[in-house]
Amino acid sequence: MKNFKLIALLSITIVFAMSACKPKNLGNAVSADAAAKTYVAPGKYDGFYNFVSGGFSGQMSVYGLPSGRLLRVIPVFSVDPEKGWGFSEETKPMLNTSHGFVPWDDLHHTELSQTNGEIDGRWIFGNANNTPRVARIDLKTFRTAEIIELPNSAGNHSSPFITENTEYVVAGTRFSVPSDNANGDVPINTYKQNFKGYLSFISVGKEDGKMDIAFQIECPGVNFDLSHAGKGKSHGWFFFSCYNTEQANTLLEVNASQKDKDFIMAVNWKKAEEYLKAGKGKKVPVKYAHNTYSDKTHSATSEIKTEVTVLSAKELKDICYFIPCPKSPHGCDVDPTGEYIVGSGKLAALIPVFSFDKLMKAIAAKDFVGDFDGIPVVKYESALYGEVQKPGLGPLHTEFDGKGNAYTSFFVSSEVVKWNIKDLKVLDRVPTYYSVGHLCIPGGDSKKPNAKYLIAYNKITKDRYLPTGPELAQSAQLYDISGDKMQLILDFPTIGEPHYAQAVSADVIKDKSLKIFKIEDNANTYVAKGEGETKVVRTGNRIDVYMTCIRSHFAPDNIEGVRMGDEVYIHLTNLEQDWDVPHGFAIKGAANGELLVMPGETQTLKWTPDKVGMFPMYCTDFCSALHQEMQGYIRVSPAGSNVPLTFSTGKNMPAATPEKAK
Ligand code: K7E
Ligand code: CUA
């Protein structure tokens, strides 16, 4: 019966998906005044920053809104040759993990830091799905400042979501797995006995943003999908959507879609803190990397930590509660008042809205229908505020406008639906092109949304852009939501596959942007603070080149006496103290990327010469009219050669004295 229902739903799905290919109102999709609404004149700033996850590209990209102009791609979990991220010696430790150097990941969710439930513009967090990690990006530099790995986790998907004062960044595991210190060499079909789900509560330093795993909660083995913190009255609680409560370990598309309802798990993290203080946590041996980047030394350090404190949800009975939620819930979103929790069952044809007040009453009255693996299950009707009937097909994610309305994306029916939270009535619907995932309203998951725009992030664009071979662009679509009706005003392709994104008024960030690093504060071990400090030092077969650059030359730009078998470290300090004057560095044949060095910064390229001869090097970033003159040579001699180690800039010209032919 249940399978039949599923098949019926899936076939409706297919019909919908096909009809979604050719919306009838395609010609009217963008009205004539749209251009004026998105036009940002040359030389003018956009009103909003939009931080968009890059999915399996592992980065985060920054767009201006309403223009849709791409401003920056911030490398986070994946190496980025454009910026030397993961190629320079200084940045490599940022990608260290308990598995060693991992050059790639899959980033799904962006979350801006908040103070009192409002976006404060200090940091943005991102999750690594594959090798579970959380990153903090500093919005003064638009660079990844810290990455922390999560033990006992796999597929860090319900992450990183924050509490209203950024007390915690919270991360739930997608895959349940045997815990890291248990014997994982067990049959896969012992899921029910051996697999557990872990939630990580990462504390965030109030001033410096430094992350630390405060505690983990061990939960029954299911898939944790998404989450959001409570706010206002529900501050102190966290909500996670869970699927695969069937606890299947194979063919999940069928086996994890058996039950009519899965769960939203409500977590009382204030209570968990009390238990932690009372010493109820168990210290468990694990191994995880904690990487931080310093803007003083301009280098990253990676530390391997070996212990984490775990609270058991089964033993500490009043931390976690399950609320039944129809059909494989995905998005789990909390409205700006903190009263309403919206679950989005991917296979459901309605949207359940839960009431925090009712949930509290039900928990107090022990209004439970039983337990799931030792966790009480609250009666559905007792926590339910109401259901939005027939909103669309395949609800995924919901954002809020702060005026009492919610906006839910529907993947299967390719549309955004606006509905009223109080009376649960559908108010408006617009098509998306096509197969929308996440939505974003500036501040749309905070207490104070700024609801001028809504952006839909689409997985499939089919006929919307010029064909580009087998893979087509993913896209974002901008809607004006200032009126009663949503109006599509712009369509722009994204870098990587967009999942969640956040946006904030530009005023919150733009004036804090750092323009240069002060050269006098540079504490890199290999800095040269002026051309007088440049040198080349041999230590055995290691050669350290203390090099500087300034428009438009390197010092030194002639180096001789490097031999086969040497390892050469080029430490390049950019002496510029002007905004937006990076210099780049590349050398022929290096099995490495380039360096891109900001004003006042030092970065190091490791190069192992592979043959005898002349190796040109040059600046890769067009920095002045004489950028193309910004170049030099390194001479590589055979092993054991007695060519002395020398270095210079501008020494032998114009009175050149070439070595006489022997
Ligand atoms: Cu819906 Cu990974 Cu947040 Cu994508 S997830 S859409
Ligand atoms: Cu320096 Cu181009």
Q: Are 13 and 393 in contact (CB under 8 A)?
A: yes
What residue type is assigned to position 113 of the chain?
Answer: S
Q: Tell me the CA–centroid distance for residue 556 and ligand 2, in Å.
A: 15
CA-wise closest residue to 264 among 196, 336, 355: 355
Percent of the chain with pLDDT over 90: 92
Using DSSP bridges, classify how beta strands 350-355 and 340-345 pair: parallel, antiparallel or unpaired. Answer: antiparallel
- Choose the residue to mutate in 455, 458, 460, 499 for probing ligand 1, maximizing ligand atoms within 8 Å of C-beta: 499
Say if residue 6's pLDDT is above 80.
no
Q: Are 9 and 254 in contact (CB under 8 A)?
A: no
Residue 21 has what pLDDT? Answer: 41
**Beta carbon of 628 within 6 Å of any ligand 2 atom:** no
Q: Tell me the per-residue pLDDT of 357-403, one tens digit each, with 9 for 90 and over.
A: 999 999 999 999 999 999 999 999 999 999 999 999 999 999 999 99
Taking CB atoms and a 6 Å cutoff, what residues make up the pocket around ligand 1?
Answer: 108-109, 157, 226, 330, 396-397, 437-438, 499-500
Say if residue 659's pLDDT is above 80.
no
Q: Tell me the CA–centroid distance for residue 566 and ligand 2, in Å.
A: 27
Summarize the chain as % helix, strand, coil (round to 5).
15, 45, 45
CA-wise closest residue to 199 among 98, 308, 107: 308
Quick one: tokens of 83? 């910026």
Tell me the average pLDDT across 41-54. 98
- Choose the residue to mutate in 156, 328, 330 for probing ligand 1, maximizing ligand atoms within 8 Å of C-beta: 330
Of residues 319 and 13, more confidently modeled = 319
Mean pLDDT rounded to a whole number for the chain: 94
| 657: confidence class by pLDDT, cuts 50, 70, 90 | low
Residue with tokens 């299967």: 412
Q: Tell me the CA–centroid distance for residue 91 and ligand 2, in Å.
A: 21
**Beta carbon of 583 within 6 Å of any ligand 2 atom:** yes
Tell me the average pLDDT across 490-494. 96
Q: Phi/psi at 269 (nearest 5 deg)?
A: -75, -20
Tell me the average pLDDT across 215-221. 98
Residue 33 has what pLDDT? Answer: 86
Length of the chain: 662
Tell me the average pLDDT across 99-110. 98
Residue 20 has what pLDDT? Answer: 42
Say if residue 14's pLDDT is above 60.
no
Q: Tell me the per-residue pLDDT of 279-292, one tens digit each, with 9 for 90 and over.
A: 999 999 999 999 99
Give 548: exposed, middle or buried? Use CB within 10 Å, 0-12, 13-18, 19+.
Answer: buried
Say if residue 17's pLDDT is above 90.
no
From residue 270, alpha-carbon distances to 38, 135, 163, 234, 266 in Å are 44, 24, 11, 11, 12
The C-alpha R_g of the chain, in whole angstroms, comes to 28
Residue with tokens 């190069």: 607
Say if residue 22's pLDDT is above 80.
no
Q: Are 137 and 145 in contact (CB under 8 A)?
A: yes
Q: Tell me the CA–centroid distance for residue 155 and ligand 1, in Å.
A: 12
From residue 394, alpha-carbon distances to 13, 330, 410, 412 in Å are 8, 10, 5, 5
Q: Are 556 and 534 in contact (CB under 8 A)?
A: yes
Give the ligand 1 atom nearest the CA of 499.
4
Quick one: tokens of 161? 């979501």
CA–CA separation, 502 vs 514, rounded Å?
Answer: 21
Instruction: Spell out the residues 6+ positions from residue 220 whose beta carbon is closer than 8 angstroms to its own.
Output: 176, 196, 197, 313, 314, 372, 373, 374, 375
Q: Tell me the per-residue pLDDT of 559-614, one tens digit each, with 9 for 90 and over.
A: 999 999 999 999 999 999 999 999 999 999 999 999 999 999 999 999 999 999 99
| 32: confidence class by pLDDT, cuts 50, 70, 90 | confident
Residue 633 burial (CB count, 10 A): 14
Q: Tell me the CA–centroid distance for residue 600 and ligand 2, in Å.
A: 15
Quick one: tokens of 68? 């849709």
What residue type is assigned to position 594 of the chain?
Answer: E
Give the ligand 2 atom nearest the CA of 622.
2
What does DSSP assign to residue 80? B
The upper half-sphere exposure of residue 255, i.e. CA atoms within 13 Å in the direction of its Cβ, equals 9
Residue 652 has what pLDDT? Answer: 78
| 29: confidence class by pLDDT, cuts 50, 70, 90 | low
Quick one: tokens of 147? 């990455």
Q: Tell me the CA–centroid distance for residue 436 and ligand 1, in Å.
A: 10
- How open is the CA angle 201-513-577, to the nearest 5 degrees? 125
Which ligand lies nearest to the CA atom of residue 576 in the structure? 2
CA–CA separation, 415 vs 397, rounded Å?
Answer: 11
Q: Tell me the CA–centroid distance for residue 240 and ligand 1, in Å.
A: 14
Give the ligand 2 atom nearest the CA of 628.
2
What residue type is assigned to position 100 of the chain?
Answer: G
Quick one: tokens of 236? 């102190």
The residues pairing with 291 across neighbouring beta strands, listed in sequence order, are 147, 302
CA–CA separation, 487 vs 481, rounded Å?
Answer: 7
Residue nearest (by alpha carbon) to ligand 2 atom 1: 583
CA–CA separation, 292 vs 464, rounded Å?
Answer: 41
Using DSSP bridges, classify how beta strands 558-563 and 631-637 pair: parallel, antiparallel or unpaired. Answer: parallel
Give the ligand 2 atom nearest the CA of 618.
2
Quick one: tokens of 492? 């722009």
Residue 418 has what pLDDT? Answer: 98
Which ligand lies nearest to the CA atom of residue 617 in the structure? 2
Say if residue 28's pLDDT is above 80.
no
CA–CA separation, 319 vs 325, rounded Å?
Answer: 19
Q: What is the secondary structure of 139-172 as a DSSP string?
A: TTTTEEEEEEE-TT-SS--EEEEE-TTSSEEEEE
Say if residue 173's pLDDT is above 80.
yes
Residue 658 has what pLDDT? Answer: 53
Residue 25 has what pLDDT? Answer: 46
Using DSSP bridges, classify how beta strands 567-574 and 542-550 pair: parallel, antiparallel or unpaired. Answer: parallel
Tell me the average pLDDT across 22-26. 45
Say if residue 2's pLDDT is above 50.
no
| 155: confidence class by pLDDT, cuts 50, 70, 90 | very high
Residue 88 has what pLDDT? Answer: 98
Put residue 129 in one of left, alpha, beta given phi > 0 → left and psi -120 to 50 → alpha: alpha
Residue 241 has what pLDDT? Answer: 98
Residue 278 burial (CB count, 10 A): 9
What is the per-residue burial (b if ≥16 Cβ within 10 Å, else e) of 435-463?
bbbbbbbbbbbbbebbbbbbbbbbbbbee
Percent of the chain with pLDDT over 70: 94
Residue with tokens 């002349």: 614
Residue 401 has what pLDDT? Answer: 98
From residue 73, alpha-carbon distances to 82, 85, 137, 320, 588 in Å are 10, 12, 12, 38, 26
Instruction: Spell out the residues 6+ positions from residue 641 whose beta carbon is closer than 8 angstroms to its own.
Output: 563
Residue 1 has what pLDDT? Answer: 35
Q: Tell me the CA–centroid distance for residue 55 and ligand 1, in Å.
A: 9
Say if residue 12's pLDDT is above 60.
no
**Beta carbon of 122 within 6 Å of any ligand 2 atom:** no
Tell me the average pLDDT across 265-289. 98
